[in-house]
Structure 1
């Protein structure tokens, strides 16, 4: 079962949250974008109020589940914008569905697979969670996603994200870390996807290296770098990100 919200009328937009996040992170975006579009915000399987039916999964299986959900909801030709993990899922959906999608957006995400350094970090994270639990992990994981200069101003938002993240089951956290670690390189999908492509990156993103992000720019419809922003531009530069997404959608 996929838990989701639906707002507005017009062409469909699907917003996918990132790792240990929920659909609630998109509340402001949903309200604003629903003035011109039908906006769906959903919980990926295992997060928020959506159930995880398997103890193992890969991103291709998540893409199939969301495709089936789209068919149930009779959603046709959407633009899918995903934050971080949500972007990985959007790329898996682009591989699966191709021209059935009107466009995709990577919001602090990448088409590249994990390198060996990143895989090693993910393995260490799994070990930490098994030993110390999800709550302790989330408390240390969320704040550094924001650039240091934004953390005090966004203290309330950070606390809310921590609160939602702590509710995630240990099984869900671990299987998604494994799925991200083992995900396929989707750069060829990014290059050849025929629909519109949006990319929003932070110059101080600790999770997605800016040098890697720049390699996507030659194959994108709209590419935007947020100066002095970490991994959470939808909070760190909310108004600017809203303007970027609105402009991208209005041209489609």
Structure 2
């Protein structure tokens, strides 16, 4: 079993916040400070990111779900609310398929239940080629700023700088393996639709990674659906106070 690095704060209903691609658990620090007033909040580093080592060179979303289920069992994380950003949302849905009613609620934060289309798969392949040629640090420096809307990058410069530095904690092996896993993941809309528990979606109307049209096409599968106007892929920084409130309200309503 691979070692999962994580931090936690607070007591009560467990909430697991799963970071996205080129991110680490510490990205949720402001959310943790607020949510931990009412909940036990746990933020893992996915394998190959932050303090969690890569456990093998090739793996699937299903493999990561099994790993996290074992980690939750080991750390007495029972019936959690699981919310994931981007890649973290794909992991959340794989966990949902594996654990089903053993999850209390799930949330997708700038993520999708749909599989990659042909264009997105080609983009993943180009990213893998870039990583193999240029390495992880150069990739992080080029990739992360693009997640923020161009018209707000000057305003959000400090958040972007922090995100880039956190992205540099990723290993080359982890970045490549997760890019492959994202590319090859299956559609889990039916898994989401079949879940009887609460389901949260937070989408950005200017998100270049998860198009708003895709979010709207699966809106019916969520009990709680929010769109953030003029927001890109990083709503937790672009609309920090608003998104903290959305997540907190969702967790309070259903815990």
The TM-score with structure 2 as length reference comes to 0.97
Q: Deviations over 1:18-37 (max 9, x none)?
A: 00100110000001000000
For residues 100 and 223 of structure 2, what CA distance do their matches in structure 1 show? 16
For residues 70 and 137 of structure 1, what CA distance do their matches in structure 2 show? 31
Q: Choose from 199, 202, 207 the match for 1:200.
A: 202
Counterparts of 1:1-252 in structure 2, within 5 Å, are 1-252=3-254
Q: Deviations over 1:143-194 (max 9, x none)?
A: 1101123211111111111112122111111010000000011011111111
For residues 173 and 73 of structure 2, what CA distance do their matches in structure 1 show? 28
After superposition, the CA RMSD in angstroms is 0.8
Q: Deviations over 1:18-58 (max 9, x none)?
A: 00100110000001000000000110111100111111110
Structure 2 residues without counterparts, runs of 5 or longer? none
Q: Deviations over 1:220-250 (max 9, x none)?
A: 1110000000000000000110111111011
For residues 171 and 13 of structure 2, what CA distance do their matches in structure 1 show? 34
Residue 7 (structure 1) shift:
0.6
SS of alignment partner, residue 7 of structure 2: strand
* Alpha carbons 2:22, 2:144 under 8 Å: kept: no
For residues 135 and 12 of structure 1, what CA distance do their matches in structure 2 show? 34
* Alpha carbons 2:109, 2:201 under 8 Å: kept: yes
For residues 53 and 187 of structure 1, what CA distance do their matches in structure 2 show? 28
For residues 2 and 150 of structure 1, what CA distance do their matches in structure 2 show? 34
SS of alignment partner, residue 123 of structure 2: helix
For residues 228 and 26 of structure 2, what CA distance do their matches in structure 1 show? 23
For residues 69 and 16 of structure 1, what CA distance do their matches in structure 2 show? 13
Residue 133 (structure 1) shift:
1.4
The TM-score with structure 1 as length reference comes to 0.98
Alignment: residue pair count: 252
For residues 69 and 125 of structure 1, what CA distance do their matches in structure 2 show? 29
For residues 213 and 27 of structure 1, what CA distance do their matches in structure 2 show? 26
Q: Deviations over 1:65-114 (max 9, x none)?
A: 00000100111110000000000000000000000000000000000000
